[in-house]
Amino acid sequence: MAPPERLDRYPPDLSDEQLYSLVTEIKDWQINHGSLLKVIDTEIEHTVLSHPVGVACFPTLFPRARFSQALDVQEIYNRLYCSVGEDEAWIFNAIRDLIPAEPLADVLWKIHQAAKKSGSVQDISMGIFRSDYMLHLSDEDLDSVPSSKALPETTLKQVEFNSFSCSGGSHANKVANMHHYLTQMGAYNVDDSSFDVESLPANKNIESIASGLALAHRTYGEPRSKLAKQTAVLFIVQPYNFNIADERPIEYALWNREEPVPTYRLDWGPKLLQYTRLTENRELLFQPPWLLSKDPIEISVVYLRAGYEAKEYNPTGYEARLQLEKSAAIKCPSILGHISTFKKIQQALTLPGALEHFLSKSDAAALRETFVPIYPLDKTDAGLYARELVRDKEHSVGYILKPSLEGGGNNVYGEEIPGFLASVPESQWSKYILMKQIDPPMSSNILMSSAGIDSGDVVSELGVLGCCLWKANPSDGGCDMLHNSVAGWTFKTKHADIDEMSVVKGYGCFGTPRLVDI
């Protein structure tokens, strides 16, 4: 490892020739490994353009202890969200006020109720989760003179928890491999603070996620319907998706296994109802016109990478999702698992005793360490306190108002909150949570995407992927874990002056932490 003092000027200044060589290596690597996005609207029958996904040119300094901590708590988070996903009453209580205000919550809850009426024919569920964190400077460090350490003392704070259609796993895997290659071939040896490839954690997201889906597939077992001779995993995807380089590698990995797992993809929408159907016993049969086998294929696992926007739930979307939910296939995830992704759930889990409802005291404590204060805007005590905070600009500094939907695009920051809320009918306030802002330390990097290349202060977000399979245990209202693992991690970096982390919108860049002992 480099002597710590050298980390102060990391990454090193590059000559034009060095930068040219580095970005050429990066672009070529990305083209060869599918670290790409389709260029929107360029796809025609016979061809399509693509360009490299945004990446950080250097690995980003990150404290090893915080990285380990994030990985260490993931299996507890997995257990927590499996349990939440089986606790209908708890979920309803948490989102009761959200349902009338948020169309997606409303339609998902309706589908859940409709499916419940039919009774469940599958007591096993799957989850692919991603818990996102940022480093947080302690208040002391914020005010103190710059320390002599390479990195300041920080704590690990959760930004959000995603239980539905988690993306970025494949891109993160590819970019981690790229930084590994660039380190190995000496692209970063531009001064004498060269670093060892061992400081870059390995990334096996694609293999791990495929392995989790393969386990669910095996757990489903032989075809139950006499009409089908084989089973397969079905990916439900958005049509015309330009981000196929994140989904497809998991399909290829399933086909590439020593015991290949047949995997097909199907667009969300009318095709879903055209090409799948339920048998009397609710096996989900798949028979698209492009696979002219005489026998339909029985779907073992439905993996959803679509259906996360309210607008997808027109009557066809509603019927399609209901059919999946009612089916005997293992859902990744179930409707209740999907609802667990709302930020109202994240907020409800910060309430006193909430974690302890699901976890042991020590596990609850380990998770709570990663929490920042989150408040509802309702009329509970916590809600009234939050309403007080956002009454004026002065007090709302240091908070973020977030809608309960996923993605960071609609957040409102600090002083802008009171004005924004004044424009929203109070009946709609339950859509939002108020979250204490995380103050991450700055780091330096060069970020490169189709939008440009720029060096400067950056902040990073570490996502930890979890993969689990569980069986509902009605006797105690909980769940029996069949599989619980840390599947890997994602690492996104953005310029410090940008609020959004979205990679597909061009703000965030995939990268790799360079772990250092501070």
Site string for a second copy, 337-366 (x = CB under 8 A): ------------------------------
396 vs 417: CA distance, rounded Å: 7
Output the smallest distance, CB 3 to a second copy, in A: 17
Of 39 and 365, which has the nearer Cβ to a second copy?
A: 39
Residues of this chain, 28-47, that bind a second copy according to CB under 8 A? 28-29, 31-34, 36, 38-39, 43, 45-47
HEC readout, 164-217 = CCCCCHHHHHHHHHHHHHHHHCCCCCCCCCCCCHHHCCCCCHHHHHHHHHHHHH
Residue 262 makes CB contacts below 8 A (sequence gap 6+) with 230, 231, 232, 233, 254, 255, 297
Question: How many secondary structure helices (H) and strands (E) does the chain include?
Answer: 18, 21
Exactly one of 119, 353, 452, 497 binds a second copy (CB under 8 A); which one? 452
Q: CB-wise, 11 or 403, nearer to a second copy?
A: 11
Shortest separation between residue 280's beta carbon and a second copy, angstroms: 26
Q: Alpha-carbon distance 177 to 273, whole Å?
A: 39
Least spacing, CB of residue 23 vs a second copy, in Å: 6
What does DSSP assign to residue 440?
Answer: P
Q: How far is CA 259 from the centre of its chain?
A: 28
From candidates 76, 101, 126, 190, binder to a second copy by CB under 8 A? 190
Q: Is 114 buried (19+), middle (13-18) or exposed (0-12) by CB count in 10 A?
A: middle
Angle between helices 205-220 and 244-256 (to 10 degrees): 60
Residue from 118, 147, 380, 450 in contact with a second copy (CB under 8 A) = 450
Query: 149 labelled as ligand-binding?
Result: no
Q: How far is CA 22 from the centre of its chain?
A: 29
Q: How many residues are recorded in the chain?
A: 518
Cα 97 from chain centre: 25
Specify the residue, 105 or 182, whose C-beta has the smaller distance to a second copy. 182
* Annotated binding-site residue? 230: no
Sign of CA dihedral 345, 349, 354, 355: positive
517 binding a second copy? (CB under 8 A)? no
Dihedral, CA of residue 113, residue 114, residue 119 and residue 123, to nearest 10: -60
- Of 26 and 389, which CB lies nearer to a second copy in the complex structure? 26
CB of 208 to a second copy, least distance (A): 18
> With binding defined as CB under 8 A, does residue 116 bind a second copy?
no
Beta strand pairing status for 231-237 and 263-267? parallel
Return the closest-CA partner of residue 112 out of 83, 92, 90.
Answer: 92
Spatial contact of 266 and 276, defined as CB atoms under 8 Å apart: yes
Beta carbon of residue 99, minimum distance to a second copy (angstroms, whole number):
37
169 vs 466, which CB is nearer to a second copy?
169
Q: CB of 490 within 8 A of CB of 465?
A: yes
Binding part of the chain for a second copy, among 124-132, 240-248, 475-483, 496-504 by CB under 8 A, reads 240-248
Phi, psi of 329 (to 5 degrees): -65, 150
Minimum distance from CB of 266 to a second copy (Å)? 11
Give the H or E element holding residue 368. helix 361-368
The distance of closest approach from Cβ of residue 174 to a second copy in the complex, given in angstroms and rounded to an integer, is 9
How many residues in the shown chain lie near a second copy by CB under 8 A? 57
Q: Which range binds a second copy by CB under 8 A, 27-35, 64-72, 91-99, 489-497?
A: 27-35
> Least distance to a second copy from the beta carbon of 323, Å?
21
DSSP lists the bridge partners of residue 403 as: 432
Closer residue to a second copy (CB): 253 or 304: 253
Distance CA 391, CA 139 (A): 24
- Of the pair 147, 256, the CB lying nearest a second copy is at 256
Q: Could you tell me which of 149, 1, 145, 104 has the C-alpha nearest to residue 404?
A: 104
Residue from 1, 2, 27, 480 in contact with a second copy (CB under 8 A): 27
The two structure tokens encoding residue 340: 């667990």
- x-or-dash pattern for a second copy, window 191-210, by CB under 8 A? xx------------------
Contact pattern from residue 170 through residue 189 relative to a second copy, giving x for each residue in contact according to CB under 8 A and a dash for the rest? -----------x--xxxx-x
Residue 455 annotated as binding?
Answer: no
**Considering only residues 1, 2, 6, 21, which one is a binding residue for a second copy as defined by CB under 8 A?**
21
Residues 243-302 that bind a second copy (CB under 8 A): 244-245, 248-249, 252, 255, 260, 262-264, 288-293
Q: Was 99 annotated as part of a binding site?
A: no
Where in 51-70 is the site for a second copy (CB under 8 A)? 51-52
Q: What is the DSSP letter of 47?
A: B
Least distance between a second copy and beta carbon 25 (Å): 9
CB within 8 Å of 149: residues ≥ 6 apart: 4, 518
Run of H or E including 301: strand 297-305
Q: Is 133 annotated as a binding residue?
A: no
Distance, in Å, from the CA atom of 36 to the CA atom of 21, rounded to the nearest integer, reads: 20
Q: Binding site: residue ranges? A: 343, 402-411, 413, 435-438, 461, 494, 500
Which residues here bind a second copy, judged by CB under 8 A? 15, 17-18, 20-23, 27-29, 31-34, 36, 38-39, 43, 45-52, 181, 184-187, 189-192, 244-245, 248-249, 252, 255, 260, 262-264, 288-293, 448-453
| Residues flagged as binding site for ATP | 343, 402-411, 413, 435-438, 461, 494, 500
